[in-house]
Amino acid sequence: MRKRPLVGLLRFLSLTFGGLFAGFLVCVLVLESSLRHYDRFVYAQVRQVELDRLDILASVTLIPALITTAIVVISAINSRGRAFWLTLAALGLLATVFVTTLIFNLPINSDQAGWNVHAPPADWAHVRDRWQIAHAVRTCAAVLAFALLGTAAMQRMPAGPESPARDEASRRPPAPAAR
């Protein structure tokens, strides 16, 4: 398989998984901001529902986004063009999302999974606020990463030795104009 179509596919997958993940986080952010107007019982119940399967959705979108973006960066390391730097920055932001999730969100998720919905802990609002702040940070990072990946995808891929047809076409004289 030629390198160029594979890199194009990986760029597409990186953008797709990055976009799905960012969109997912935005939806959770909207839901969480809506929950701020409800009491501790409603909040605890909704968090139990969120924790049932949303962690799986986060994993099946973030992990492939990280992997495909890293491969695109590695494959373009010699070009160092604009697309490389945009993709590298996006990878840094996705790594920030991953680290934020590991340090802040997952430990709180684990704690909240054990909450009794009929008797949430006294500090439930403080825990909610910490989770939501970390979530807002990772959502902003994911949306920005998606924007950078989209911008990188619009950049021309550098022509390399694996695209001789394009090089030949660029050397041909222009066709005469029809009269």
Tokens found for residue 10: 């990986």
User: Quick check: is 178 in a domain?
Assistant: no
What pLDDT score does 126 carry? 98
| 70 located within any domain | yes
pLDDT over 90 (residue 41)? yes
Instruction: Please indicate, yes or no, if residue 135 is contained in any of the structural domains.
Output: yes
Tell me what the mean pLDDT of segment 133-142 comes to.
98
Residue 40, domain extent: 3-157
pLDDT, one tens digit per residue, over 42-70 is: 999 999 999 999 999 999 999 999 999 99
What integer pLDDT is reported at residue 4 of this predicted model? 81
pLDDT digits (tens, 9 = 90+) for 98-129: 999 999 999 999 999 999 999 999 999 999 99
3-state helix, strand, coil in the chain (%, to 5): 80, 0, 20
Question: Torsions phi, psi of 76, nearest 5?
Answer: -105, 10
Bigger pLDDT: 158 or 91? 91
For residues 26 and 143, is the Cβ–Cβ distance under 8 A?
A: yes
Report if residue 125 sits inside a domain: yes
Which pLDDT value is given to residue 156?
77
Q: What single-letter DSSP state applies at residue 158?
A: P
Number of domains in the chain: 1
Is residue 165 in some structural domain? no
The answer to the question of residue 20 being in a domain is yes
Max CA distance (Å), the chain = 85
Q: Does the residue 120 lie in any domain?
A: yes
The answer to whether residue 7 sits within a structural domain is yes
